[in-house]
Structure 1
């Protein structure tokens, strides 16, 4: 599920932080900024990724998923996102989305995708499964800590090593291709 766009710059040590309740507030503030900048073109905005799961340890990067009705037309939103301080990275290796990142060190990722797309549904299903299953969330947190120690600064290795767990979680939540 994660793609290369979610990976921070190589060379930065992967650090997993205890959950911070302020992440929810940082999401809400940023979602409002995006709504104001992009207007009605944004149909929905969701907080996804590990920072969206209460109690889950995470890298302190707020993942925001914005739903649009037409991804091709959403390219017109790139200048508005750039005015908010985001760097546009196109699909960045993940079909079905536009990817934006902000901050140095990285603070926010925005994944712009069509409402109802496989990308949209998988991210919500994964988030909701972790929110509903504290044991699975705890297993994921422990795995992320171990992988961060194992991979150090290798973001690609860290991200790739999580794939099996994410796929297992999605299947347990009812995902079918």
Structure 2
């Protein structure tokens, strides 16, 4: 029975933590906790009404319930680490943008222009293990001078989570989250 529990518990816990790391959306909080509660209810129902329910199935249900419950408190440190690492990477990009502007008198049209002289690669955010979540960079147009190129300031942003974006404004040199 213990062997069956461990065979299902550890891979399921790893899968749930991978999902939390990859997608890192607050809505994922609902799935492991809600799933654990539902599975717990199913398990208790089977435990008290069907005492002859196979031991292996009970062990699998216990493993699923335990992995769901344990993944919940482990998500918060994962998200904190992702946010810290993403902000540190953004600061490196900002320093590279400022160095580019200092040498060339204008900001680049895209982050790709920083490679390889200012950055070895344009790093992805730490919000995803697969690297699909990238930083967004755009030049801010100067509307006070209609024929001037929009190279005097920029915004750098990334997704923090569900409908939330962190954005750096080079004019104010401040971060804000919307």
- TM category, shorter: under 0.3
Please tell me whether Structure 1 or Structure 2 has the larger radius of gyration of its CA atoms: 2
Higher relative contact order (CA 8 A, sep 6+): 1
TM-score, length-normalised on structure 1?
Answer: 0.25
Higher helix share: 2
**TM-score, normalised via structure 2 length:** 0.25
